[in-house]
Amino acid sequence: MEHYEDQHRAEHEDSALIVNQGVQQPPSVNPNWKRVKRRELTTDEYVDGILSQNITILSKAITLVESLKPEHYAQAQEIIERCLPYAGRSIRIGITGVPGAGKSTFIEAIGEMVINLGHKLAVLAIDPSSERSGGSILGDKTRMETLVHNKDAFIRPSPSAGSLGGVARKTRESVILCEAAGFDVIFIETVGVGQSETAVHSMVDMFMLLQIAGAGDELQGIKRGIMEMADLVAITKADGNNILRAELAKTQFVNALNLFPTPESGWRPRVYTCSSVEKKGLTDLWSGVEDFLAFTKKEGYFKSNRNNQDKYWMFQTVNEALKESFYRLPAIENQLPDFEKKVLDGQLSSFVAAHQLLNIYFNNIAKKL
Amino acid sequence: MEHYEDQHRAEHEDSALIVNQGVQQPPSVNPNWKRVKRRELTTDEYVDGILSQNITILSKAITLVESLKPEHYAQAQEIIERCLPYAGRSIRIGITGVPGAGKSTFIEAIGEMVINLGHKLAVLAIDPSSERSGGSILGDKTRMETLVHNKDAFIRPSPSAGSLGGVARKTRESVILCEAAGFDVIFIETVGVGQSETAVHSMVDMFMLLQIAGAGDELQGIKRGIMEMADLVAITKADGNNILRAELAKTQFVNALNLFPTPESGWRPRVYTCSSVEKKGLTDLWSGVEDFLAFTKKEGYFKSNRNNQDKYWMFQTVNEALKESFYRLPAIENQLPDFEKKVLDGQLSSFVAAHQLLNIYFNNIAKKL
């Protein structure tokens, strides 16, 4: 049960799953149960739990997906495959914006509105820098206080360890699990400063850029490549003294977006202003989202985009699995630091080190199989 | 000998290596030899040829490095490892600039000067887009006409197939071979528009950005990240009517570079103007290169940078080798297109496809080992 205790556990796991003598039920059924023994769930228990929309089990399953242990990896893959037939029936929206653009407040406000429309909302995050920076986006529980306590919302911080490729793969797998658990709107939050936007773009139906109306430098801090991905731009904090500036920013964005060629979807990106605090402009903005989805579904782009993403993820999954197979092999894990040191000290060339490591790997693989 | 005929063969191979009854000598030794039979060279023959500075064999060895065949891969790795003790004694300079910045003309002009100073110059290129765009940088033989015919110069176009990671790895391996063949100045050319600059940066001692003095938009088209990598900026075409504009551009660049924090090397990037046609400013610029090298060698950055690059390449080599082992396995090569099609058609999920492919791979690997 070590993975249960590790740093990647979910927010929702505070009300830990309580099990007793192999029979597992949600704690709500029998409040007298104590934390007698935590044991590994079987794959059946995971899958049944997810499909019966048990949030605690969904959370545990995602923890399994994020785990670095080889045995968890295998089980996680089996769970995902068995959830796949129940997945895909959601809309997946990427939301990005530089720190300070008001992402949490925006997601709280629009998330509540979306839930009131009858949806179930999952909010995931991709932020491979979270380990370095010491804090994950969405990692602070006090943020999104309303959503966190809404039974139709599921908030999950970014996996905090691993390469961008690994983190992105885990997030995409979490999307599958959330969909199987009945969430039909998925937000994937990212910080609009790095390369994670491309990763998010490869797993969403729509990409939303959040921008705060500032002092005329609205376009700063956002890389051109990110702007070009946006299907919708939301100028946040359009309230009080900020309304005029927000409108100005909107005009600037409309002009800037007009300079880009029409994207493959055929959809011309739209710009909206809104206020998360005063809850203004959110309905308009959401109808923009619905327009986009109707348009791309009608034009066939929605489906072709998902199929292309699937092909991309086939390759990504293979490449990541090859790396995991290598770097998680105990023989490699044990000897890698020594090889690294020797290369840094100039005692061993990168080539020789790599080939010696590869020999260790393939010899071990051959023994194992 | 198929690799010999493939699209990746080098410019220099036109004067093909002629072999006869297992004895191999450069064609110049016996002009009466005919193209009787092309056979594979042994690893010894490759290594001896490279160390005796035989350009034709160097060229063939690089073709082997670039080959996509698994059996060539193994031999290439062996050649590289045996050349390693003779490598590393060069200066490696990355040269980038948008198309039209005058890279070829500049490399011809400065290359000739460098050779006249007693150096042997190898010019390699990284351009993973070359396959798509139909033409490789440095691929046009009529460019760099003087250098191509200079016995102290070796010009090699970008490997035209593969991912950026693969192309970069091949280029880095080619650097090793060129150094073992006695080339002590290595230029690595790249087009300053994509992500290949980061790859180049990971294998050079110094990074040079070429910029043409234009109509006030000097900074356009160059991404900020690339500017930040530059140790030296050369404003080219500073001749005729262009001199004033070049000086203006220089001032702009000096100002822009001052906004960046001092790089890890501790070296403040310098800006030079030069004319490749009139051969002006080149001596100054080259003394800037020598200043940089003296500075970083004195400060220890030169060595620590190379060691860090080595560590990076250890991981890269492992990751690439894992992928090659997978994608070059005949069973995978045969079945991959079918899997791709099924995923694109929505008949198979990316996960299931990936895991079926991985099963095929590991089963085959187990049989092979």
A273 three-class SS: strand
Q: Strand pairing of B121-126 and B185-191?
A: parallel
Write down the pLDDT at residue B39. 75
Predicted confidence at residue B149, as pLDDT, reads 85
Q: Are A21 and A38 in contact (CB under 8 A)?
A: no
Distance, C-alpha A181 to centroid of its chain: 16
Distance CA B344, CA A328 (A): 31
DSSP annotation of A348: S
A66-80, A185-199, B282-296, B353-367: segment of lowest average pLDDT: A185-199
- Give the minimum alpha-carbon distance from B101 to chain A in angstroms, rounded to a whole number: 22
Distance CA B64, CA B66 (A): 5
Among chain A residues, CA nearest to B224: A223
Picking from B7, B74, B12, B14, the residue whose alpha carbon sits closest to that of residue B40 is B74
Cross-chain residue pair A340–B314, CB shorter than 8 Å? yes
Q: Closest chain B residue to A224 measured between Cα atoms? A: B223
Asked if residue B296 has pLDDT above 50, the reply is yes
- State the number of CA atoms in the 13 A half-sphere of A5 facing the CB: 4
Which two tokens mark B210? 């070429």
Output the pLDDT for position A215.
Answer: 39
Count chain A–chain B contacts defined by CB atoms under 8 A: 129
Chain B contact residues (CB < 8 Å to A): 77, 80-81, 84, 173, 176, 303, 307-308, 310-319, 321-323, 325-326, 339-340, 343-346, 349-355, 357-358, 362-363, 365-366, 369
CB contacts of A300 in chain B (<8 Å) are: none
Name the average pLDDT for chain B.
81
Can you give the pLDDT at residue B214? 62
CB contact under 8 A, A343 and B317: no
CB pair distance less than 8 Å for A81 and B326: no
- List the single residue in A176, A351, A358 with the smallest CB-CB distance to B80: A351
- Using a CB-CB cut-off of 8 Å, the residues of chain B touching A321 are 354-355, 358
Place of tokens 């791309």: A296
Contact B357 A314 (CB under 8 A): yes
Q: What is the pLDDT of residue B125?
A: 85
R_g of chain B, CA atoms, integer Å? 22
Between B206 and B98, name the one with better pLDDT: B206
Nearest CA in chain A to B82: A352
C-alpha closest to that of B204 among B194, B193, B190: B190
Q: Would the pLDDT of B50 be above 90?
A: yes
Task: Answer yes or no: do A350 and B80 touch at CB < 8 A.
Answer: no
Highest average pLDDT, of A188-202, B120-134, B310-324, comes from: B310-324
**Smallest Cα distance from B112 to chain A, Å:** 32
Nearest-Cα distance to chain B for A244, in Å, is 30
Over the stretch B204-249, which tens digit does the pLDDT of each residue have? 999 999 988 763 454 545 566 777 889 999 999 899 888 988 998 8
- Can you name the residues that pair with A122 across neighbouring β-strands? A154, A186
Q: Which residue of chain A is at minimal alpha-carbon distance from B194?
A: A225
* Beta-carbon separation of A310 and B343 below 8 A: yes
Please answer yes or no on whether A350 and B313 come within 8 Å at the CB atom: yes
Q: Residues in chain A with pLDDT < 50?
A: 1-37, 131-136, 141, 215-216, 218, 220
Rounded Cα–Cα distance for residues A3 and A40 (Å)? 10
**Helix/strand/coil (H, E, C) string of A5-41?**
HCCCCCHHHHCCCCEECCEECCCCCCCCCCCCECCCC
Task: Decide if pLDDT at B103 tops 70.
Answer: yes
ipTM of the complex: 0.72
| Cα–Cα distance for residue pair A136/A129, rounded to 1 Å | 8
Q: Do A317 and B350 touch (CB under 8 A)?
A: yes
Lowest pLDDT segment from A345-349, B58-62, B270-274: A345-349
Task: Give the Cα separation of A332 and B322 in Å (integer).
Answer: 14
Q: In sequence order, what DSSP letters do the residues of A236-265 get, joined into one string?
A: E--SGGGHHHHHHHHHHHHHHHHTSPPPTT
For chain B, the three-class secondary structure string (H helix, E strand, C coil) is: CHHHHCCCCCHHHHCCCCEECCEECCHHHCCCCCCCECCCCCHHHHHHHHHCCCHHHHHHHHHHHHCCCHHHHHHHHHHHHHHHHHCCCCEEEEEEECCCCCHHHHHHHHHHHHHHCCCCEEEEEECCCHHHHCCCCCCCCCCCHHHHCCCCEEECCCCCCCCHHHHHHHHHHHHHHHHHCCCCEEEEEEECCCCHHHHHHCCCCEEEEEEECCCCCCCCCCCHHHHHHCCEEEEECCCHHHHHHHHHHHHHHHHHHHCCCCCCCCCCCEEEECECCCCECHHHHHHHHHHHHHHHHHHCHHHHHHHHHHHHHHHHHHHHHHHHHHHCCHHHHHHHHHHHHHHHCCCCCHHHHHHHHHHHHHHHHHHHC
Identify which of A161, A116, A157 has the alpha carbon closest to the alpha carbon of residue A139: A157
Distance CA(B325)–CA(A319), nearest Å, equals 11
pLDDT at B142 over 60: no
Cα–Cα dist B292/A134, whole Å:
36
When scoring B350, B363, B365, B368 by the number of chain A Cβ atoms within 10 A, the one with the most, hence best to mutate, is: B350
Q: How confident is the model at residue B360 (pLDDT cuts 50, 70, 90)?
A: very high
In this prediction, residue B27 carries a pLDDT of 41
Contacts of A366 in chain B (CB under 8 A): 365-366, 369
Question: How close does chain B come to A285, measured CA to CA in Å?
Answer: 31
What pLDDT was estimated at residue A224?
Answer: 62
